[in-house]
Amino acid sequence: MAGQRMAAAGHASPADRRAEGAEATRTAGRAAGKVARGVGGFLRPFGRVGGILWLEVTGVFFLLFALVFATALYRLRPASLHGPYDKTFLASAALLALFAYLGASSFVRARRK
């Protein structure tokens, strides 16, 4: 009886309010999904360019380290290989090779994108 009075007075029952709320939630979810797809489509080219730029910046960073180890390698040339600096020379050579590889592969990956 109370439900009939509330319905007659213009008030919706709790079940009706839940149904209206669920429909509003579904509509809002669909709208949010469409907005997300639109924004994602707009930002996709910027993400691609940002990824390429990131690879190139890290490639330069690695090549700077390779340059540091190349200068160290030059200072410790093979003439002193049998002296007290032979371990430093070999470590510099290994690190130069590592950072040169990382820098070059970063640029190669950027060109493939």
Q: What is the pLDDT of residues 40-64, one digit of tens each?
A: 788 788 888 899 999 999 999 999 9
- Dist. CA 60–CA 36, nearest whole Å: 34
CA-wise closest residue to 75 among 95, 92, 50, 52: 92
Coil, helix or strand for 12? coil
- This model's pTM is above 0.75: no
The model's pLDDT over 94-111, given as tens digits with 9 standing for 90+, comes to 999 999 999 999 999 999
Domain count, the chain: 1
- Distance in angstroms (rounded) separating the CA atoms of residues 14 and 90: 79
Domain membership of residue 63 as a residue range: 2-112
